[in-house]
Chains A and B, each alone.
Chain A
Amino acid sequence: MIELSGVRVVYGRTIALDAVDLRIDEGVTGLFGPNGSGKSTLLRAIAGLQRPVRGTITFDGRLRDPSDLSLRRRIGYAGHEIGLYGRLSVEENISLFAALCDAGPGRVADVIAAVGLTDRAASRVDELSAGLQRRAAVARAIVHDPDILLLDEPFATLDDEAADLITDAIKAWRGPGKIAVVATHGAKRLKSFADSSVVLRRGLVASDRQRETVVMP
């Protein structure tokens, strides 16, 4: 369980998140909101990539400590940018992050196949289209089978077929004790498998609902 309490994040004089109180339980949580609502900042704060100026973030009751390697090992994150090295191949990139995250080498081929990139595994990332790069980024985020998966617009630039592959990969990844937070504009795709949803507006939580009551924006 991830719990945010009174979290405030600022960029200079801009308040990106303010007084965010949120409890994220296991399952897939859809994170919605218009541009600039704070979705990416919320994911970055949970990941530990952005330090809140106020408030706390806890994982299973433990305060988030950015230097905690075991906690970092539990997180898979794919942000706005692809986060891969353009001059390395897809396989080299995924293998590198698998090794850094202590995943077994056999896992690399599996996640590349899961996102439908087996035939492009040897291609350099900077030679791939934006959609293929996005798929590779998701593969990188899940290669170590994290307990907490944070995805920022994973369906952006993807066609329906590729988006289905990513959806299937997330569904295959989910399991007991696993938490995914998926920020997206497109509510329809997440609607089929999200367990809860959070809507942000101007850095504030506008709604926080479980699946039974959720009305996708």
Chain B
Amino acid sequence: MSVIAERKRGVVAKTWLLTRKDMTIEARGRETLPAMVAFSFAVTLLLAFSLPPDVVVSSEVELGVGTVPLTDVLAGFLWVTVLFAGLIGFARAFEVERAEGALDPLFLAPVDRAGLFASKAIANFVSLVAMEICLVPLFALLFGVNLGGRWFVFIFVMALVDLGFVMIGTLFSALAAQTRSRELMLPILALPILVPIFIAATELTGDLFAGGGVTTVASRGWFGILVASDIVFAVIGALAFEFAVER
């Protein structure tokens, strides 16, 4: 039996070690976040050119038959951009391990799979939020979005969306990392499950862009779906990760 000095660490300490490792590697390599930001900027710029130059984001415009509010369209623009930029980042979540063959020693280390899942999810969450911090001001500038004092509600909605998105993205990125066509597999696996989250995100953000506040958002059924999705996906992610990394 082992005779060396042991220093037992709990799952939280090991999760933090792994998260810090991922962040250190990203800080040194700068591969994932710049790609996510560049993609989100390019898409947002392209979408900005798809609208006439004199459109106004307002809730007071009368809608004709067969038309939709611009606020809903903009919410869709925002979340489609976040969705695909996020998937770019998540697809690389296990790339650093896969490229160096570090998946084996990592999976073999006596780390609870839930801790490993949490570390990757936290790292993905940080990347996603960093991308959104870059994207949202540009989006607001290009599309003339002014949320006034409702920014905190918007940030809260974003955080809820990001949580669910990260849980599913992390789980399926682990599955996809072990397949040959991993770049294709992640969106194929994750998108159908992400649909409810992003519909809810678009609906709630549309309300906010149209002048709604906390009470509007909280009274919508979509808010409940978002909260429930986060809880369900967090539990599923932590439990299913063991099977996702099983070979």
Contact = CB atoms under 8 A, between A and B. Distances in A.
Nearest to B22: A85
B4 A103 contact: yes
Contact of A82 (B4, B29, B100): B100
Contacts of A177: 1
Binding site of A, secondary structure by majority: helix, strand, loop or mixed?
Answer: loop
B4 A88 contact: no
Nearest to A124: B28
Contacts of A101: 109-110
A216 interface: no
A79 B104 contact: yes
Contacts of A187: none
A161 interface: no
Nearest to A177: B1
A97 B109 contact: yes
Interface in B1-58: 1-9, 13-14, 17-18, 21, 24-25, 28-29
Interface size class of B (residues with CB under 8 A): 35 or more
A99 B17 contact: yes
B105 A97 contact: yes
A185 B130 CA distance: 49
A23 interface: no
Interface residues of A, number: 47
Interface string A31-55: 0000000000000100111110000
Given A83-B101, A88-B25, A48 B108 contact: yes
Contacts of B97: 85
A83 B111 contact: no
Interface in A35-87: 44, 47-51, 66-67, 69-70, 72-75, 77-87
Contacts of A84: 100, 102
B183 interface: no
A103 B7 CA distance: 6
A75 B108 contact: yes
Contacts of B9: 99-100, 102
Contacts of A78: 105
Nearest to B100: A86
Contacts of A83: 100-102, 104-105
Contacts of A147: 1-2
Closest 6 CB pairs of A and B: A81-B101, A104-B5, A73-B110, A100-B109, A69-B110, A145-B4
29 contacts: A47-B108, A49-B108, A49-B247, A51-B246, A67-B242, A69-B110, A69-B112, A70-B110, A72-B109, A72-B110, A77-B108, A81-B101, A85-B97, A85-B100, A85-B102, A87-B28, A87-B29, A100-B9, A100-B17, A101-B109, A102-B9, A103-B7, A104-B4, A104-B7, A105-B7, A144-B2, A145-B2, A147-B1, A177-B1
Interface of B: 1-9, 13-14, 17-18, 21, 24-25, 28-29, 96-97, 99-102, 104-105, 107-113, 242, 246-247
